[in-house]
């Protein structure tokens, strides 16, 4: 199985910029650990600060790969073109954001990608990429029946929730086997 990871602007500076928000691990180092965690997956990685280059990569890889994990970064909130490119391809796409964009500035709450992606993961740090890969692996039939799977899953990091969330009235995560850390997530079906 092949999964493409596409990162948008400024994510080439992970580990150096705003480490209080984005952490101190460079993405290339994280990608090595992700590849070790999923030895049967062939990963490709693309990062650009240029919107058109991201659109070109989505179009190039979108009919060749089994799935795409994308963090469009700031283009999430401004790029209709990236959203349109995702809608035009065959491969299923999961949107990932390292920070919880809904807990930040108001303009970050708009996404031109979420409605086109199979799901979105916010605020789980780099772990969001792993969860996106797990989702794509457990839903490898998405390409065969793309319109059947247009429902979105949105995951948020909730501060203050304890490890016993499932026993305290939280949602039933058994229906989502790709969630390995279910006690930390709140699930919303859109």
Residues annotated as catalytic are 22, 97
Spell out the SS3 assignment of 126-174: CHHHHHHHHHHHHCHHHHCCHHHHCCCEEEEECCCCCCCHHHHCCCCHH
How many Cα neighbours within 13 Å face the side chain of 75?
A: 28
Closest by CA to 81, choosing from 94, 72, 68, 71, is 72
- For 31-44, the DSSP string reads HHHHHHH-TTPEEE
Question: What is the distance in angstroms between the CA of the first residue and the CA of the last residue of the chain?
Answer: 28
CB neighbours of residue 5 within 10 Å: 22
What 3-state class would DSSP assign to 7?
strand
Contact 4, 15 (CB under 8 A): no
């Amino acid at each position: 199985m092949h999964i493409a990871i596409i990162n948008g602007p400024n994510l080439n500076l992970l580990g150096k910029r705003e480490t209080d928000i984005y952490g101190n691990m460079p993405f290339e180092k994280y990608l090595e650990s992700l590849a070790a965690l999923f030895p049967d997956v062939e990963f490709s990685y693309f990062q650009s600060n240029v919107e058109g280059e991201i659109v070109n990569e989505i179009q190039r890889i979108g009919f060749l790969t089994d799935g795409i994990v994308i963090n469009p970064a700031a283009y999430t909130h401004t790029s209709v073109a990236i959203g349109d490119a995702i809608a035009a391809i065959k491969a299923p796409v999961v949107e990932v954001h390292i920070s919880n964009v809904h807990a930040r500035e108001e303009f970050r709450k708009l996404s031109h990608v979420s409605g086109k992606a199979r799901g979105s993961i916010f605020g789980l740090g780099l772990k969001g990429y792993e969860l996106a890969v797990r989702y794509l692996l457990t839903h490898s039939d998405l390409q065969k029946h793309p319109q059947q799977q247009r429902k979105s899953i949105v995951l948020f990091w909730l501060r203050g929730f304890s490890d016993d969330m499932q026993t305290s009235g939280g949602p039933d995560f058994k229906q989502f086997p790709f969630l390995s850390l279910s006690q930390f997530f709140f699930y919303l079906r859109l």
